[in-house]
Amino acid sequence: MKIEQFLSIIDKRINRRSIKIGSFSVLTVFIIVYLWTVFTGEGLLDRFGGVIGGDFIEFYTAGRIINEGQADRLYDVSLQRESQKAIISPQKTDRFYQYVAPPFFAYLFVPLARLSYLKAFSLWTLLSIVLFISSLLIMRQHLPGFSNRDWILTGLVCLSYIPFLVECLAGGQNSALSLFIIVLFYHLLKRQAEWWAGLVLALGLYKPQLFLLFPLLMAISGRWKTVGTFVATALLLIVISSSIIGFENIGSYLGVIFEHAGYQRDAGWKIWKMHCYNAFFRMIFGERLVLSNIFTISLSLLSLFFVLRLWVARDTEKGAIFDLKFALSVVTALLVSPYLFSYELTLLILPALLSIGAISRMSTSALSCVKLKILLSVIYIISVPSDQIAALTNLQLTVPTMLIFGWYIYLKAKQFDTHHGIGLGQRWRK
């Protein structure tokens, strides 16, 4: 059987009806299991002894510490432990959720920390859903080829995507906010509102490992207005953070960051829950850290080379090529991140939508569209068992899948360049 015939058979299986049934099934199972674990638990603990809302308690703890007038001890581990014990009381758990985000991000949770824990988590969940839906609505403006029927199905698929549904929403994480920031940044660039784009991008510095690639890309492509407002806003956030915990306590925050980054070398660290080059090679090579680092650095530099090669020539923000460049940049930012937990895979929704929109506008073969459709289906499906497979085999399947997705985007960008003569990378070749 030829590869074209094989792909055609799979394509016929991935139809509107099967996608709808699959998405509804995921949502239904999630709701049933989640409600079961919550209502069969005790107090603020679920059935398995974890805190309801998962990581949200670390944000709630940070807001509570500031409300108690102890912002200068925000990164005091003993104080965080005591605060979480008081929140969970009278139940007890050995689990500890450490707050490691920048001080300015903790201020977002000061109002929520004045509420009871469950009320605060409910509002945070509602806010996450609003941000998620807002991201999709913004993207709808840039994908005019999608019908209302297409968007309903797209929204259903995105909502049932495990990294968002389970890891972010049920897990109390903030990747819905990360998605909203990167989508809004893209939207502002498309509207050529470069000043505002830099400001919005800087707000993502509560997760610097995800957003620091983009100022470099803006500088390489000559978008100095964006770089300028990014730097100015970043400096302002540094001043705000310093004023919150005290300038003399900045060292304690930096110490927590380096300590947190080093956890992945510990034997007890659940590195199989991470989805970047660094974790991928550490799982493969184990204690052979030198070999792991060589492969991680080499592949990261190679990935960055291909991304930078696309950005050295500034082209119009309105074309399909810009969408492909931006999509590849998001995928690359995730892969080269020093650590990337499951919930951050929520950001893959943006490059998925951008690649679909760009490919649909390009004069490309039906087979190419089928390949993208199958590739995105694999990304969606593999997110369900990937962590469990990695825990058993030391092989995180999402990483090679994302790498293939990124390579597909790059090839399509170069193909578009060849056909339309835009001259991507021309300055680089000179």
Q: What is the mean pLDDT of the chain?
A: 88
The domain total for the chain is 1
Is residue 190 within 8 Å of residue 142, measured between CB atoms? yes
What is the mean predicted confidence (pLDDT) over 117-123?
A: 96
Q: Using CA atoms in the order 264, 267, 272, 276, what is the torsion angle rounded to 10 degrees?
A: 30
Which alpha helices (DSSP H) does 203-288 contain, by range?
Answer: 208-211, 213-220, 224-245, 250-262, 277-285
pLDDT of 373 reads 85
CA nearest to 321, candidates 354, 353, 347 = 354
For 138-147, the pLDDT digits (tens) are 999 998 878 8
pLDDT over 90 percentage in the chain? 64
For 58-71, the pLDDT digits (tens) are 999 999 999 999 99
H/E stretch holding 10 reads helix 3-13
404 part of a folded domain: yes
pLDDT band at 110 (very low <50, low <70, confident <90, very high): very high
User: Omega of the bond prior to 385 within 30 degrees of 0, cis?
Assistant: no
For 363-373, the pLDDT digits (tens) are 566 667 777 88
Beta-carbon contacts of residue 135 (< 8 Å; ≥ 6 apart): 176, 179, 180, 183, 184, 349, 350
151 part of a folded domain: yes
Does the pLDDT value for residue 16 go beyond 90?
Answer: no
For 355-364, the pLDDT digits (tens) are 998 887 775 6
For 294-343, the pLDDT digits (tens) are 999 999 999 999 999 989 866 665 678 899 999 999 999 999 999 899 99
Q: 383: helix, coil or strand?
A: coil
Dig out the tokens for 325 from the structure. 């460049």
Residue with the larger pLDDT of the pair 401 and 417: 401
pLDDT band at 272 (very low <50, low <70, confident <90, very high): confident
- Sole residue written with tokens 């509560």: 206
pLDDT over 70 percentage in the chain? 90
What is the mean predicted confidence (pLDDT) over 236-240?
A: 93
What is the mean predicted confidence (pLDDT) over 176-201?
A: 96
pLDDT band at 260 (very low <50, low <70, confident <90, very high): low
10 part of a folded domain: no
Highest mean pLDDT among 7-11, 166-170, 268-272, 314-318: 166-170
What is the mean predicted confidence (pLDDT) over 167-181?
A: 96
Q: 142: helix, coil or strand?
A: coil
Does the pLDDT value for residue 381 go beyond 60?
Answer: yes
Residue 326 belongs to domain spanning = 20-429
9 part of a folded domain: no
15 part of a folded domain: no
pLDDT band at 428 (very low <50, low <70, confident <90, very high): very low
pLDDT of 426 reads 45
2 part of a folded domain: no
Does the pLDDT value for residue 7 go beyond 80?
Answer: no
pLDDT of 255 reads 77
For 405-419, the pLDDT digits (tens) are 999 999 988 887 655
258 part of a folded domain: yes
What is the mean predicted confidence (pLDDT) over 388-393?
A: 91
370 part of a folded domain: yes
Is residue 227 within 8 Å of residue 215, measured between CB atoms? yes
What is the mean predicted confidence (pLDDT) over 249-276?
A: 72
pLDDT of 420 reads 54
